[in-house]
Structure 1
Amino acid sequence: MGTGYAKPYAASTAYAAGDNVNVGNATYRAVQAGTTGANSAPPGARPARVPFVVRDGGVRWEWINDAAINSKVGAYVETEVVDGAGAAWGAAFNYHIKTKPRAGQFFPGVEFDYANDSGADCALGITDCTAIRVGLSGDAQVTHGLQITGEGSATTGYSAIWAFRINGEKVARQASIEVDSMSEVGLGFGVSGIGTSAHSVAAIRDVSTSPRAIQVSGIKSVATIDDTATTPTFANIGGTKSLAGLREASTTPTGILLQGRYAAAQISGAGWSVDPAGGLTAARLNSPLATPASSRAPCRAGDWAHDTHFIYTCVAADTWKRSPLSSW
């Protein structure tokens, strides 16, 4: 357990084991007492990997934190787990409500009130101001960066109304949740196979009045949405839409591509359908009256047209034939 207090660093100076010093924007702790070298100070920046131990004369320093964090800290708690220590906690807050909550009462287990009244906004990536930060490091991975668990309630079945809630009309300017990691899945539900209980309403539910429910941009190598589930319906669209239930306006080679194995129909609508073999069945078929300019007018084999006197069929490239119409 360290004190969190940093002494000034100096060359050719004796330090005891456990002493903390600041070098540039790095804080080190002496894990071996001794006298520093004349010109062998440890690096003044965060190392690429931790743990990081460096020799300085007769002293062995271990990097423990950024100096900017360590030098002005309201509370400093450090726990180091070594072989034989068993299970360990960096800090534990046990809060047990045993009185009946009443209207207007507030029972926070832990509360962080963080305000910026400096008169200047924090610039992302330059002067980060973070209310709560979880930093993960080391040579081996941990299981969770942040975990919220619950044992359920004997009366309601659930431990909380929300396990995680972001509340406030303007709590975040860019995004309420931002995922910048390079993990296999950005946001997963039951991906690990642990806790895969069924959601009774939806995995994701949006009832806001925002301009878009989901906005997707950027370059995707496989698909914008990849659905491999065995659900009855891929997308269930209801409600009143002012433009379209489904609108595709990209410049891709194909607007909608169907490549599955369909037992009943490739696509089906009210009064019409396309069967698995590509046959079209429709309650009625309507096309505008049109007359080819001549029997050699441009066309592709299979094209057809009709006017008040004839039905025209394109039998080969730029080759039309016609059949007369009659009344009955």
Structure 2
Amino acid sequence: MGTGYAKPYAASTAYAVGDNINVGNATYRAERAGTTGANSAPPGSRPAKAPFIASDGTVRWQWINDAMINAKVGSYFETEVVDGAGAAWGAAFNYHIRTKPRAGQFFPGVEFDYANDSGADCALGVTDCTAIRVGLAGNAQVTHGLQITGDGSETTGYSAIWALRINGEKVAQQSSIEVDSMSAVGLGFGISGIGTSAHGVAAIRDVSTSPRSIQIAGVKSSSAIEDTSTTPTFANIGGTKSLAGLREASTTPTGILLQGRYAAAQISGTGWSVNPAGILTASRLNSPLATPASSKAPCQAGDWAHDANFVYTCIAANTWKRAALSSW
């Protein structure tokens, strides 16, 4: 497209209705013809809200888009919905497969092939290069930034194998899905009350061989994981682990803190449990034989030890008493 379709902007210059101009990183279209002012050019950046109208002399400019987008564009679709227009689409692509797909055949509804052969990597905030961008604006809220729906299949019951798939050995350097918004929930399932059917296997499933299934970092004000559901168990751990089913190695004040109301036990395992009152019940209790050095050996009240001849109990700080053992 050469240098683009926008005309050079100049002060005290006549423009016709429909003329496009670039000012800084903003593209405007003249919705009213006239002559620009001597020093009243429209802003050269994206407005806070759209639509945005700027008066310049006797010309009325309407902001269209960023100049870097509109200067050179392969296809440009512009739709303005006004009162009485009814339902409207910016663009509609209707694609219907009526032949039986076979191995090796390719049936994309819409395909975007995007490559960077410039010799320089794109950097976020500096030279953003985006294959597909959805920009939301206006003074009212929309329902979806991106929506994928399906009516189901008569044979399988589902419209697709994957509603959204990200594949490729090195498709993304940092993360396959990055959520940087300030919404109440970063990733929600059934949170809107729409499509809340139970998932057959799991809401989130990881069967990869990644070093970690979930990695949590950063400073959290409440908790890293919060479970307020009424499920039978919070975490169900199975399989063979090389180290531990659950490992806590932080420097927090408490590794595991139980503060709920438990009807049967605070924690239980095979042959042992701790009841709601904190009483330990175990089928067997085993500790190594040990003998305090003397009755004044260091200890805290409640410590105990035993050897082949005595049972020792610490009744106060650094104060041991003992009872003899006998055979029967």
The normalised TM-score by structure 2 is: 0.96
The 3-state SS of whatever aligns with 2:68 is: helix
Deviates more, 1:16-25 or 1:91-100: 16-25
Spell out, residue by residue over 1:251-277, the C-alpha distance to the aligned partner (whole angstroms, 9 max, x if none): 111101111111221111111111121
Query: Shift of the alpha carbon at 1:33?
Result: 1.8
| Equivalence map 1:289-304=2 (5 Å) | 289-304=289-304
Q: Aligned equivalents of 1:244 and 1:100: distance in 2?
A: 50
Structure 2 contact 25–44 (Cα < 8 Å) conserved = yes
AA at the equivalent of 2:150? G
- 2:258 counterpart residue number: 258
Shift in Å, 1:52: 2.1
Instruction: Provide the aligned length of Structure 1 versus Structure 2.
Output: 325
Deviation at 1:109, TM superposition (A): 0.4
SS, match of residue 61 in structure 2:
strand
State the alpha-carbon separation in 2 of the partners of residues 317 and 139 from structure 1. Answer: 70
Q: Taking every aligned residue pair, what percent have the same amino acid on both sides?
A: 85
The corresponding residue for 1:30 is 30
Deviation, structure 1 residue 284: 1.2
Pairwise CA distance, 1:179: 0.6
Q: Which residue of 1 is the match for residue 230 of structure 2?
A: 230
Match of 1:21 in 2: 21
Q: Deviations over 1:52-104 (max 9, x none)?
A: 22211111212111111101100011011111211111000000111111221
Distance in 2 between residues matched to 1:251 and 1:153, nearest whole Å: 52
Instruction: For 1:123 and 1:276, locate their aligned partners in 2 and report how far apart those are by CA, in whole Å.
Output: 55
Secondary structure of the structure 2 residue equivalent to 1:29: strand
How far has the Cα of 1:296 moved from its partner?
A: 2.9
Q: What is the distance in 1 between the residues matched to 2:60 and 2:31?
A: 6
What pairs up with 1:161-240 in 2 under 5 angstroms? Answer: 161-240=161-240
Matched AA of 1:205:
R
SS of equivalent residue, structure 1 residue 68: helix
Report the residue type matching 1:148 in the other structure. Answer: I
Q: Distance in 1 between matches of 2:141 and 2:176?
A: 27
2:284 corresponds to 1:284: yes
- Give the stretch that moved more between structures: 22-31 or 242-251: 22-31
Structure 2 unaligned blocks of 5 or more: none
Structure 2 residue matching 1:327: 3-state secondary structure:
coil
**Match of residue 327 from structure 2:** 327
* 2:148 paired residue number: 148
Q: Report the CA distance between 1:115 and its aligned residue.
A: 0.7
Q: In structure 2, how many angstroms separate the alpha carbons of the residues matched to 1:114 and 1:233?
A: 46
CA RMSD between the two structures: 1.3
* CA distance, structure 1, for counterparts of residue 5 and residue 231 of structure 2: 59
Query: Which residue number in structure 1 is paired with residue 79 of structure 2?
Result: 79
Q: Does 1:109 align with 2:142?
A: no
Provide the C-alpha distance between the structure 2 equivalents of 1:48 and 1:294, rounded to a whole number of angstroms.
79
CA distance in 2: counterparts of 1:276 and 1:197, whole angstroms:
35
Q: Which residue of 2 aligns with 1:6?
A: 6
* Residue 133, structure 1, aligned to residue 136, structure 2: no
Between the aligned partners of 2:156 and 2:305, the Cα distance in structure 1 is 67
1:134, distance to aligned residue in structure 2 (A): 0.3
Match of 2:249 in 1: 249
Q: Tell me the SS of whatever aligns to 1:54.
A: strand
2:67 and 2:38 map into 1 onto residues whose CA distance is 22
Map of 2:96 onto structure 1: 96
Q: Secondary structure at the match of 1:6?
A: coil
Gaps of 5+ in 1: none
Aligned partners of 2:311 and 2:18: how far apart in 1?
97
Q: Name the aligned partner's letter for residue 305 of structure 1.
A: A
Moved over 6 A (4+): none
Secondary structure of 1:7's aligned partner = coil
Q: What SS does the corresponding residue of 1:69 show, helix, strand or coil?
A: helix
2:53 maps to 53
- Is residue 42 from structure 1 mapped to residue 70 from structure 2 by the alignment? no
| Whole-Å separation in 1 of the counterparts to 2:51 and 2:314 | 77
Instruction: Give me the whole-angstrom Cα distance separating, in 1, the residues matched to 2:104 and 2:260.
Output: 56
The letter of the residue matching 1:10 is: A
